């Protein structure tokens, strides 16, 4: 899979791409990341990429000419792949979107700065606008890295074990992941649950599922509305909530 990233600060990406899983994925030819400096397509002698907004207001706005020039020079006109604009005004990024984007062979990521992009870039160049959360950052580089990481790890072979993503939080069943432990079995008096130390795989799988249900209910109950729950899941949750209510009433 190829990522073309357009930014005023492309040097931000290299340190992260030169470590761990993404480094190996690039070395093995599983993903390809190309960064492009939008400033290289500015046509004036000062390489200007921003200007004051019409109608007043604070800050500067990224100009359309260098952004269109950069993207169309690399990807053609119209662009040969989806162009993802990173903006706090976009749809909220989640694992479902990551899986959708992972089906493409080629994606472009467009990183803004200052007060954002001239609206014509959104209307006539970007094919999708994505936000990583309801907050504002100084630029789109960190959001682009987050999207790239989430999408890249879903590519076959990137994690080594393709099934390693199936139990992740927000995976196909829509639940948070169950808690995890490793050795030693006891640390400072805190022990790994007995069921996880024993070799009964069936009981362990059952326990993991129940813990995912409990953790989701406690931390992200909104996810349960869309989660893929079986009748057994619903029965367990109902009993758990009833028992929890009884315990609270006895306090």
**For 170-228, what is each residue's pLDDT tens digit?**
565 889 999 999 999 999 999 999 999 998 999 999 999 999 999 999 999 999 998 99
Q: Is the peptide bond before 184 cis (omega within 30 degrees of 0)?
A: yes
Last residue within a domain, chosen from 93, 126, 152:
152
23: tokens are: 């480094």
Domain identity same for 101 and 196: no
101-120 confidence digits (pLDDT tens): 999 999 999 999 988 899 99
Q: Quick check: is 115 catalytic? A: yes
- Given the residues 65, 72, 115, 173, select the one marked as catalytic: 115
Q: Quick check: is 82 catalytic? A: no
- Given the residues 10, 50, 66, 88, select the one marked as catalytic: 88
Domain identity same for 129 and 202: no
| DSSP state at residue 86 | E
- Given the residues 65, 72, 149, 168, select the one marked as catalytic: 168
Phi, psi for 200 (deg, rounded to 5): -85, 95
Domain identity same for 20 and 66: yes
* Torsional class of 86: left (φ above 0), alpha (ψ -120 to 50), beta (otherwise): beta
Q: How far apart are CA 172 and CA 147, in angstroms?
A: 18
Q: Quick check: is 128 catalytic? A: no
Domain identity same for 122 and 201: no
Q: How far apart are CA 80 and CA 87, in angstroms?
A: 21
Q: How far apart are CA 246 and CA 238, in angstroms?
A: 12
Domain identity same for 10 and 85: yes
Contact predicate 110/140, CB 8 Å: yes
Domain identity same for 94 and 137: yes
pLDDT at residue 163 tops 80: no
pLDDT of residue 172: 55
Q: What CATH number is given to the structural domain containing 27?
A: 3.40.1280.10
Query: Taking the CB of residue 64, how many other CB atoms lie within 10 A of it?
Result: 15
Domain identity same for 199 and 144: no
23-47 confidence digits (pLDDT tens): 999 999 999 999 999 999 999 999 9
Q: Is the peptide bond before 78 cis (omega within 30 degrees of 0)?
A: yes
| Residue 176, domain member (yes or no) | no
Q: How far apart are CA 174 and CA 229, in angstroms?
A: 9
| Residue 177, domain member (yes or no) | no
- Given the residues 113, 143, 153, 233, select the one marked as catalytic: 153
Q: Quick check: is 247 catalytic? A: no
| Residue 167, domain member (yes or no) | no
| Residue 170, domain member (yes or no) | no
pLDDT of residue 173: 80
How much of the chain exceeds pLDDT 70, in percent? 94
Show the domain range for 98.
2-152
How buried is 205 (Cβ within 10 angstroms: 0-12 exposed, 13-18 middle, 19+ buried)?
exposed
Q: How confident is the model at residue 167 (pLDDT cuts 50, 70, 90)?
A: low
54-78 confidence digits (pLDDT tens): 998 889 999 999 999 999 999 999 9
Phi, psi for 195 (deg, rounded to 5): -60, -30
**How many domains would you assign to the chain?**
2
| Residue 79, domain member (yes or no) | yes
Region 14-29 average pLDDT: 96
Last residue within a domain, chosen from 129, 152, 175:
152
């Amino acid at each position: 899979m190829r990522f073309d990233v357009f930014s005023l600060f492309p040097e931000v990406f290299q340190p992260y791409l030169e470590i761990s899983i993404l480094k190996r994925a690039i070395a093995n030819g599983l993903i390809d990341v190309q960064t492009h400096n939008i400033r290289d397509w500015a046509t004036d002698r000062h390489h200007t990429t921003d200007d004051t907004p019409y109608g007043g207001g604070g800050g500067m706005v990224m100009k359309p000419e260098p952004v269109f020039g950069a993207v169309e020079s690399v990807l053609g006109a119209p662009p040969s792949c989806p162009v993802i604009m990173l903006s706090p005004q976009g749809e909220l990024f989640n694992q479902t979107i990551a899986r959708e984007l992972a089906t493409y062979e080629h994606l472009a990521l467009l990183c803004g700065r200052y007060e954002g992009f001239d609206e014509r870039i959104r209307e006539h160049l970007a094919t999708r606008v994505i936000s990583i959360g309801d907050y504002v950052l100084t630029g789109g580089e960190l959001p682009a890295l987050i999207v790239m990481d989430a999408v890249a790890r879903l590519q076959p072979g990137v994690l080594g074990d393709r099934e390693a993503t199936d139990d992740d939080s927000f995976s196909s069943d829509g639940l948070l992941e169950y808690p995890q432990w490793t050795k030693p079995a006891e640390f400072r008096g805190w022990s790994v649950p007995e069921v996880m130390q024993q070799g009964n795989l069936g009981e362990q799988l059952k326990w993991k599922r129940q813990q995912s249900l409990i953790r989701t209910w406690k931390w992200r109950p909104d996810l349960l509305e869309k989660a893929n729950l079986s009748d057994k899941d619903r029965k367990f949750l109902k009993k758990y909530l009833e028992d929890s209510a009884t315990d609270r009433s006895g306090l």
